[in-house]
Amino acid sequence: MNIIEINKDKCKQSYACVRICPVKAIEVKADQEFPNVVQSRCIGCGSCIDVCSQSAINYYDSTPEVKQLVKSGQRVAALLAPEIAAEFADVTDYRKFVNMIKQIGFEFVNEVSFGVDLVAKKYEELFSNFKGKYYITANCPAIVHFVEKFHPLLADNLAPIVSPMIAMAKVMHKRHGKEMRIVYIGPCIDSKVEAINSEGDGKVDCVLTFPELRKLFEEFSISESTLEFSEFDSPHGYKGALYPISNGILEIANISENLQSGKIITADGRESIIDALNSFEHELDSIRHHMNIFYCQGCMMGPGMSTNASKFVRRTRVVDYANKRFADFDKEDWSEQMIEYGDLDLSRKYKVDDQRIEFPPEENIQEILKVLGKVHENDEKGCGTCGYTSCREFAIAVAQGLAKTEMCLTYSLKNRQEYIKTLKQTNEKLAKTQDALKESERTARIEQQLAREAMEMTTAMLQKLPSGVVIVDDKLKIIQSNKTFIETLGKEAEEISDIIPGLKGADLKTLLPYQFYNLFSYVLQNDDDVLNRDVHYEDRILNVSVFTIRKNKIVGAVIRDMFLPEIRKEEVIRRVSEAIDENLEFVQKIAFILGEGASRTEKILNSIIEFHNNDKKEL
């Protein structure tokens, strides 16, 4: 069970809870956005609940369990803490209040003040029989958990006596049997944890705080105006009604707080109890006193209260209520009850649950202080907004993983200023970028318009060409074609073009025979243009040139119908010209060869003549 949790939907990250927690059980890790309650470290004091202005921190709601319990058919008793006088000033008579509780479904309603009387007697015996060992009272669950978790060396100094809640549970089980189910109603949140850990004849099944009790009154529409009087069930408490006041337990136990002769010191409130426990642990030889410690300034100031009355108003109400009960109190009956239940075993033991975290190396602390900008010794005093008493203590918590540097106000402001500066520079760059982008968009629009106009002109020219033109992709799907190409294919293609302009997307393989479209496949695969190839198509001869536009992706073709007069005339002239050019070239080659031969013959004849003439001269 998580005793206390933080509602992240409500949390505004003020870190007030971190500042107030006496044991730093609320961590803010570097990778987390919101604070988190470390349940193993929490002592259930409820300080974080009181200080959270956003009401983002809640404690475990026990009302569903109580409703289920009273509807189960089992015998259920309500144990009512004496703080009712400080809480329910709006109820005119406590006897009406008892009846209101019974209307929820409780068979018995008993005062925990009788349990206080029993516990007080045990303290009187313990302190009056001093054997050199000093004790810390163990009535406050938060103090017990504080010692077990964070002052484990003092666990043996906790008085070995159960709390009044457990003592009264033992009374009820002895009186009504072990099957009796117990619900404690009081001002302490940590009593819920104490109840979970209870066992045997001291077992408490559930704990309700006073706000939870008011919630049940509202849910069940219970009002004192419609009810008669009803007394508390026996046994009745006596001076235990003074327990809500911090030193009330001492007066009940007849333990003197005389400054000269008294052997016990009372400490209450968050700051006082921290100092008291530290002093008891480290300076007991100087103190030499027992300690009566309550986390709150008396249980009447517990976190399970719902009224806003001051401490002194509540104290007055408690005393007035006690006096009213004393007026006609049957002390003789009370004494008999004290004897009857005086043999109950009210002893207890404690379980050390050391939650202290290992102290980090000094170099880690110094490194964090440098990051925070705390480079001088005076800088370590701090402002306390992070929740720690000094910058050094905060740096230690960061090193231990309980806090993050962003919790430091100075560090956050510095980072924020740098962030604002960076943001300003970024905004200036962004403004320039936006201007450049606008200019780029304007240029792009102009270029787009020019491209569109060029495309329109090209398309118009393409449609006017007397030759067929077609462009296809690597799947032989038509990207674009002109009117002449469509007319060349015949009526079927023209009908398709009426539905799909330009045959865009049509499969060339369905429009042309294999030997025709295979030319396109060849050019796509080999990137080798095919020029002026004559292809027989139906009863015509088409002159085809296929060429690469985008390698292995897009090819185009120009197709001319050789039977058209203008094409025939043009082609005849072209081919005659080609033939003449070829013949001229051939004749030129022959002439060159003949010329070379004649020249060589002439040289040979001349050499023979010259040789013959020389012969004659010699004769």
pLDDT digits (tens, 9 = 90+) for 180-207: 999 999 999 999 999 999 999 999 999 9
Query: Cα dihedral sign for 473, 479, 484, 488?
Result: positive
Residue 468, CA distances (Å) to 108, 457, 497, 500 in order: 106, 17, 14, 17
- Residue 436 CA to residue 427 CA, distance in Å, equals 14
Q: Are 302 and 206 in contact (CB under 8 A)?
A: no
Q: Which two tokens stand for residue 615?
A: 């012969």
- Residue 82 CA to residue 99 CA, distance in Å, equals 16
- Residue 52 CA to residue 46 CA, distance in Å, equals 10
Residue 343, CA distances (Å) to 7, 121, 233, 339, 537 in order: 46, 12, 21, 8, 122
Residue segments in the chain with a per-residue pLDDT below the cut of 70: 375-387, 409-422, 451, 454-455, 565-619
Q: Cα 296 to chain center, whole Å?
A: 33
In 3-state terms, what secondary structure has residue 396? helix
Q: Dihedrals φ, ψ of 538, to 5°? A: 55, -120
In 3-state terms, what secondary structure has residue 164? helix
In 3-state terms, what secondary structure has residue 176? helix
What pLDDT, on the 0 to 100 scale, is given for residue 580?
Answer: 52
Q: Are 277 and 154 in contact (CB under 8 A)?
A: yes
Residue 64, CA distances (Å) to 67, 216, 356, 499, 504 in order: 5, 10, 35, 73, 72
The contacts of residue 154 (CB under 8 Å, 6+ apart) are 136, 147, 277, 280, 281
Q: Is 13 exposed, middle or buried (0-12, 13-18, 19+ CB in 10 A)?
A: middle
- Residue 169 CA to residue 206 CA, distance in Å, equals 11
Residue 49, CA distances (Å) to 3, 54, 60, 305 in order: 12, 10, 12, 12
Closest CA to 491 of 469, 470, 511: 511
What pLDDT, on the 0 to 100 scale, is given for residue 566?
Answer: 59
What pLDDT, on the 0 to 100 scale, is given for residue 376?
Answer: 62
For tokens 């619900």, name the residue. 183
What pLDDT, on the 0 to 100 scale, is given for residue 587?
Answer: 47
- Residue 397 CA to residue 30 CA, distance in Å, equals 12
**Upstream peptide bond of 235 is cis (omega within 30 degrees of 0):** yes
The strand pair at 540-550 and 554-561 is best described as antiparallel
Q: Dihedrals φ, ψ of 242, to 5°? A: -90, 0
Query: Cα dihedral sign for 86, 110, 77, 171?
Result: positive
Q: Dihedrals φ, ψ of 269, to 5°? A: 95, 150
The structure's pTM equals 0.66
Q: Which two tokens stand for residue 591?
A: 């002439």
Q: What share of the chain is helix, strand, coil (3-state, %, to 5)?
A: 55, 15, 35
Across 348-359, b (16+ Cβ under 10 Å) vs e yields: eebeeeebeeee
